[in-house]
Amino acid sequence: MSDPNFFILYVDSPAASATFYADLLGHAAIEASPTFALFALGSGVMLRLWSKHTVEPAATAVGGGAEIAFALDSDEAVAAMHASWRGRGLPILQAPLRMDFGYTFVVLDPDGHRLRVFAAGAS
């Protein structure tokens, strides 16, 4: 069996979410339609944004039930990304703080999905 390499977020508007993620990730979706958008990430993982109005079977999951995490190398990189994302107006759910696994903060995407940035065990 292979490891998971394809993640799906159910969104209200795939076009609006694709614009958000294209800006956040620094590259456009590799595929898009009125009901979905697909991003190829540098790690080989694929991120699909699928309309919650057309997914079959119907999805009951809502934003905030899981997180997409971005691992960085240092506390300084976490602080810099926080400043950048705050400057873009992203809703900050959790300001930077030290937790038992490292230095972290959390923002929300347009559908309320949590985006966590962290530096594991960094100081």
Rounded Cα–Cα distance for residues 123 and 74 (Å): 7
Structural tokens at position 84:
């950048």
pLDDT at 42: 87
pLDDT of 31: 97
pLDDT tens digits, 44-76: 999 999 999 999 999 887 787 889 999 999 999
Cβ(10)–Cβ(61) under 8 Å?
yes
Do the strands 67-71 and 114-120 form a parallel or antiparallel pair, or are they unpaired?
parallel
pLDDT digits (tens, 9 = 90+) for 69-121: 999 999 999 999 999 999 999 999 999 999 999 999 999 999 999 999 999 98
Residues 15 and 5: their CA atoms lie apart, in Å, by 23
**pTM score of the predicted model:** 0.89
Topology adopted by domain 67-120:
2,3-Dihydroxybiphenyl 1,2-Dioxygenase; domain 1 (3.10.180)
pLDDT of residue 22: 97
Among 104, 38, 39, CA closest to 69? 104
| pLDDT of amino acid 34 | 96
* pLDDT on residue 63: 80
DSSP structure string for 1-64: -PPP-EEEEEES-HHHHHHHHHHHHTS--SEE-SSEEEEE-TTS-EEEEEETTT-SSPP---TT
* Predicted pLDDT of residue 90: 96
pLDDT at 82 (0 to 100) = 98
Domain boundaries, the chain: 6-51, 67-120
pLDDT at res. 65: 80
Same fold, 6-51 and 67-120: no
The answer to whether residue 123 scores a pLDDT higher than 70 is no
Architecture of domain 6-51: 2-Layer Sandwich (3.30)
CB 11 within 8 A of CB 50: yes
Q: Taking residues 19-44, what's their average pLDDT?
A: 95
